[in-house]
Structure 1
Amino acid sequence: MKLQHRIAMILVFLLGIVSLIMGTLVLLGLHETGHVVLQGLLIYNIVLGILSLLVAYLIWNRSRSTSSAVLLLLFSNISVLIFLVLFPNNVAKESIMSMEIRTIIWAIVYLFIRWGSFKNSSLSTKGWGRMAVLLGATTIFLHSCKNNPNKQNSSSQSKPDQVQVEEPSPKVAISNDAWNHQIQLDRGSKWLANAETTSGVSKMRNAIIEFKGRSVSEYRALGDELNALKNTIVKECTMTGPSHDNLHIWLHPLIEKIEALQNIDSEASGVQMVQDIEQHLNGYYDFFE
């Protein structure tokens, strides 16, 4: 077996083992990622892990179908990566980064498998160069799509009896209630959530109601407390299917707001973020029970 084929086989084997083990652990709730993970993506990664081990066997066995199998999985990863980037805001950045790494690995594996063809046709340099340019351009494009979503500015009227606060710091996330337009009811009824999720939301609301702090450090401490409760919700969630997907639509903006509260740099920003988080938590009961 040629050296480049050995390297390709090792890369695919390790990728398959890691995807299979980590995906299974997260799916069974035995490993906490610290961010929201789509269940469909977990299943996809587990299936791809199994297929990766199969491809590693094909490489070791010098099968003629190796090149086609590698190319198929490469395009599969590219397709899923594009889908994740264009998906609504409930896809974690970590999931996209992981898919980018997998895509790059599969591209490298394909180049190793096809190295002989490139070499024989005197296209080795061009082949590597074109693939590098393609991957680079794709990565830049996908990042630009994810980091620069279309935003709509809406004007709001202030109530006479409402206390005005200063403009929030750039470090604090602006209130984003776009999830209200993305989330759906269960054919007009609320989704049935698992008891642990509803209990976690209730504890977060109580933490805010009982909060009496005023300093920046106290607001950040509240953010840490809410973050711990959020992690428990993610870990103990047993919801599946459409109810699970809609929960993520509600949960992802909350995660961003909690992170913003953990990093506020003024009391006014803390007041604003606490009010925003409390309103977001109250919205949970409009869609789940």
Structure 2
Amino acid sequence: MLNISKIAAAVLIISLLILGFSGCQGHAHGDHAQLGLNNGAKWKADSGTNAHVTALLQIAQANNPQTLADYQNAGNTFQNELNNLIKDCRMQGPDHDALHQWLEPLLASNKKLMEAENQDAASAIFNEQKEHIQLYFTYFE
């Protein structure tokens, strides 16, 4: 009985991971190579991706968290927009790979923000996320 529960849990986790990145196709999501320009030029992002990243930046700029709960709520708001970005992803090829080099650290950081246990840690993570979101516009058009 215990083995069946473990198998069911593993299948559920794998299914959720697959669904989470279902809009993003043709990419190994474990690659964390250093993000850089495309031979000196910005990577090409589609209009939907640009709109979602602009929304993330607006969320970051509109929030002025004062408490741990505020930071965690901001993380939840970020996560909703990140989920939409992933769901609507239509990019492919090297531009898509570059997007994931930018996106994956943000996903990991946001998870830490939502799980932060003290306000100082949450504040540091939030500020790093704001900077990271702004980096998108350095590397993508």
TM-score, structure 1 as length reference: 0.40
1:176-213 CA-partner distances (Å, limit 9, x unpaired) = xxx6x622322211011011111111111111111122
- 2:66 & 2:96 partners in 1: Cα distance? 36
- Matched residue, 2:6: none
2:91 aligned with 1:227: no
CA change 1:223–1:193 in 2 (3 A) is: same
Q: Distance in 1 between matches of 2:70 and 2:54?
A: 21
Aligned-pair identity (%) = 26
Residue 1 (structure 2) pairs with residue 33 (structure 1): no
8 Å contact from structure 2 (residues 75, 111) kept in 1:
yes
Q: Which AA in structure 2 matches 1:200? A: H
Distance 1:36 1:278, change over 3 A: farther
For 1:18-29, list aligned pairs within 5 A.
none
Alpha-carbon distance, 1:242 to partner: 0.4
Residue-pair matches, total? 125
Is 1:268 matched up with 2:120? yes
Determine the structure 1 residue equivalent to 2:35: 183
- Which residue number in structure 2 is paired with residue 218 of structure 1? 70
Closer/same/farther in 2, CA of residues 268 and 278 from structure 1, 3 Å limit? same
- Correspondent of 1:198 among 50, 59, 64: 50
Residues 219 and 261 in structure 1, CA contact (< 8 A), matched pair in contact too: yes
Per the alignment, residue 144 of structure 1 pairs with none
Query: Structure 1: any 5+ residue segments left out of the alignment?
Result: 1-21, 23-31, 42-83, 85-89, 93-178
SS class of match (1:285): helix
Gaps of 5+ in 2: 1-14
Give the C-alpha shift of residue 249 in structure 1: 0.9
Alignment of 1:100-249 (within 5 A): 182-249=34-101
Q: For 1:36 and 1:270, how far apart are their aligned partners in 2?
A: 29
Q: Which amino acid aligns with 2:70?
A: E
Structure 1 residues 209 and 38: CA distance shift in structure 2, 3 A: closer
SS of residue matched to 1:201:
helix
Which is bigger in relative contact order (C-alpha 8 A, separation at least 6)? 2
Query: Normalization by structure 2: what TM-score?
Result: 0.79
Which one of 26, 30, 43 corresponds to residue 91 of structure 1?
A: 30
CA positional deviation for 1:39: 2.8
2:136 matches 1:284? yes
Q: Which amino acid aligns with 1:204?
A: L
SS of structure 1 residue aligned to 2:20: coil
- Taking a change above 3 Å as real, the CA distance of residues 186 and 36 of structure 1, as seen in their structure-2 partners, is farther
Q: Do 2:24 and 2:91's aligned partners in 1 also have CA atoms closer than 8 Å?
A: no
Contact 1:38 1:91 in 2 (8 A): no
| Contact kept in structure 1, 2:23 and 2:89, CA below 8 Å | no
SS in 2 for 1:39: coil
Q: What is the alpha-carbon root mean square deviation over aligned residues?
A: 2.3
Whole-angstrom distance in 2 between the partners of 1:38 and 1:199: 16
Could you give the per-residue CA deviations for residues 228-266 of structure 1, whole angstroms, max 9, x where no partner exists? 100111111111110001111111000000101100111
Q: Which runs of 4+ in 1 moved over 4 A?
A: 35-38
